[in-house]
Every structure is written in C-alpha cells, then in structure tokens.
Structure 1
C-alpha cells in the first residue's frame, strides 16, 4: 500500500527542519554534525510513520513502552531498523525488550541489567545498554525524578555491572533534562558522568540527551544521540493503528 503523499511530505519537511537545527547547533558548538545521531521517537504513532521515516533514510527508531514497541517492531521487521528502547523498564519486560531492541537507553539498576543480559543471551543476541542518569534529584536520598535514573555518583558502578555481562555492550549514558530550569547545567552534569565512565570504559562514548525542545543545549554539552518525537512527527495523539 503506497504511503499518504501528504504525510510523507510533512515528515520530510519536519526532518529537514530538524536537521537544519542540528547543523546550526553543531556549528555553534564547533562540532561535526556527523557525530550526532538522530533517533525518531514514534510513541503513539502508527507503524506506517516508521515506514515513511525509513523511506526518508531515518532508520533509528525509539519507543517508550514495550506494549507499543513490540508489535510495531514486528510489523516493520522487513525493514533494516535499529530499535532503541528509551522508556522506564520493569524487569518482567526484559524478555520481550531483549527480543527486538538493539539499544536500551534506560538501564538504571543492576537487577535490570542482569535481566536484560540473561534474556539477550538466551535469545542469542547482544544488546547495547546505556546508563540512565537521574538529573532531577538525589536518588540515594529517595528524591527520584519522575522519569527514573541512577544517581550520578552511582552511575560508574552501574556501568561496571553492565560491562561485565557477556551479552551486554556498555554504550554510554542517557538522561532527560529536568522539566523545570535551564537544561544546560543538567546536560553538563551528564557530560561529567560520561567522562568518568569513559575513563573506565573508553568505548562507552554515547551520550543520549536532547529532545525536540532542548536539542541545542544537548549538542552544546556533547550529546551524540538525540531523541526527537514531536519535531519529526507532530504533537502526539492517540495511536492510529
């Protein structure tokens, strides 16, 4: 079935605008745009949008919920996609996520890392995992941000636990900027955590940070992966299929 031409054109225009923003931010930060990867977050969007994105050359796809990601990954299994799981994850979903995800951005505890590694190993797969860092508060004091993450001080130890599992590849770090305040210092803290982890694990270079509203700040602070939803696909509505 052919794509809706109007939808293709809209996504194509949005993608061009997003890339222009990325190029401008990279120029300001004296960075090469080739060092910044774009992940399309397709939450609440149909598999058809994933196919349109792929036809436009964007094959890194991110999802927040396994209930939506698993069937969408199955529906687009004929495409050469890289699936990024970016939402908070319960250990009882590890088997499902490890069956289709290539990268899990939201690993925030050792128990989850072990579960993902064991499930990936059982499936004969190797899974890249990022340490999700909490930039909202002090998780050790029980003041967790609403979107999870390990306390920055504890991130290097969690990185060690990921790296020691044979079925896991430590990719780097991920964070969501606090809802209130300036994202620049928050992303600066994430960069500092990344440096600490890279001192121990030089190949863990990924910094997943920045969304539609704050990608410029993320690029300024060293982000290597951006997670864009609304900027590419418009404001989120109910799932359309």
Structure 2
C-alpha cells in the first residue's frame, strides 16, 4: 500500500470516528436538554502519531489531549504550524511543569499546591498564560489507589481553586475528574457537578467541567460536562507511535 493510500484510509477511519462520537454527543445533549455547542471534544492522541493530529485538524477537530510530556512535547513541536489547543490531561510531576508550560494551553490535572507553584513559575518564565483545572478525586478506594489516579478530595477543591486563581501566570478554568473504575459513573459525575457549582460561586468564570471519555461520555453530558476527553472512540485501539 502506498503512503498516500494509507493516509487516505486513515483519514476515512478518523472521519468515521468523529462522526460516531458527534452523533453520541448530539443524542446525549438532546436527552439532557443541552445544546451541542456547549461541548468541547478533545481528541486524546496518546500513542498515536503526529500525522493523526494533522488529519484530525484537517477534519476540524483541533483540541488535542496528551497524557505524557515525553510524547506530548515532540508532537506539539511537530504540529506547531497548526491552530491547535493542547490539553495536558495526565498526572503531572512537578519536575515536568516547566516543559508542559511551554506548549500546553490547558492543564487538566492540577491536584496539589506544590504543582500550582511549579506551573506558576514555569508560566511566568515562558511568558504564557496557562489555564488550569482542579482535578477532583471521585474514587472511594484505598489511599494508594486514590494517589495512583490523582485528584484532590472534593472538600479540598475550593482551597486549591483559590490558589490557582491567585497564582501569577495561571487562570482557573474549572474542574476535571475521572470516573471511578468499575462503578456507575453517574453518581460520581453528579458529585463533580456539585463541586463545580461550589467553585463558580467564588469564581464565576471557572466554567469548565472536564469529564467523560469513550465509555461514559453520555453520563458526563447528563451531569453538565463541558469538555470530553475521548481517545479510543475517535482513534481506535492504542498503538505504538509510527511516524
């Protein structure tokens, strides 16, 4: 198969994935009495090549999510000519804050004051404004399980939100969460919606609710999600990056 033919086939696969996810979003919004324009679809391109990002952009999907700096940084550099919004959605170590602040537009996974400080310092050095979301833990497992997935307990979210709002170079965007493994996501997303509402009392502009992935985007929309982080349903099963 020629490279041109392979590219056309991949474009068709991605177009089909986008159409399928958009149809699910439309149905979920109709069921929830919401407008589709309220939803931002983020393509999580973890393990997929920069060529897929280019194809997605050509198909009109320009919000791109990444989980790991080691993969995200070179991919963002390779696609620097495209009008993309880069979302860092994975757990973030403080020693990676400087690198991530150089290309990310939105960091979804802020879950501790030390990370706020690191991102603030990095954003100021880079001369950039970085939108940050408070990652809220909705897990009810053991402390080690909760730490592995990240997130601040709901009761501590307002204080962390205040820290972000006060930090130089940062903008408080709202909240993010991942549904608990193996459980009905609806009660968890309902809790996240309540946390988001509390934050907006003091920070009305913090309107982002980042929740919902390939398997639970309908429940997230029903509970007020504004940003969906979708990988498999758009791009297919995970694969090794081939450039």
Bin the TM-score by the shorter chain. over 0.9
CA RMSD of aligned residues (A): 1.4
| Residue equivalent to 1:188 | 190
Using the alignment, how far apart are the partners of 2:141 and 2:15 within structure 1?
Answer: 41
2:109 is paired with a residue whose SS is strand
Among 107, 110, 118, the alignment partner of 1:107 is 110
Counterpart among 72, 90, 95 of residue 93 in structure 2: 90
Give the SS at the match of 1:226: strand
**Residue pair 1:135, 1:145 contacting (<8 A) in 2 also:** no
Is residue 99–residue 120 contact of structure 1 (8 Å, CA) maintained in 2? yes
Secondary structure of 1:99's match?
coil
* 1:117 counterpart = 2:120: yes
In structure 1, stretches of 5+ residues that fail to align are none
Counterpart CA distance in 2 for 1:21 and 1:142 is 34
> Are 1:67 and 2:70 an aligned pair?
yes
Matched residue of 1:122: which SS? helix
- Residues 1:153 and 2:155 are matched in the alignment: yes
Q: Secondary structure at the match of 1:144?
A: helix
Name the count of aligned residue pairs.
240
Question: Aligned residue for 1:11?
Answer: 14
Shift of 1:146: 3.0
Map Cα deviations across residues 174-193 of structure 1 (whole Å, 9 max, x no partner): 00000111000000000000
Counterpart CA distance in 2 for 1:54 and 1:10 is: 14
Cα deviation for residue 166 of structure 1 reads: 2.2
C-alpha contact (below 8 Å) 1:39/1:62 kept by paired residues: yes
1:134-185 superposed Cα distances (whole Å, 9 cap, x missing partner)? 011389x666253100000000000000000121000000000001110000
Tell me the distance in 1 between the aligned counterparts of 2:147 and 2:123.
28
1:25 equivalent in structure 2 = 28
Gaps of 5+ in 2: none
Q: Deviations over 1:170-223 (max 9, x none)?
A: 000000000111000000000000011001100000000000000000000000
2:44 aligned residue (28, 32, 41)? 41
State the shift of 1:115 in Å.
0.5
Tell me the alpha carbon deviations over residues 15-35 of structure 1, each in whole angstroms, 9 at most, x when there is no partner: 011000000000000000000
SS in 1 for 2:101: helix
> CA offset at residue 86 of structure 1?
0.3
Say which SS state the counterpart of residue 24 (structure 1) adopts: helix
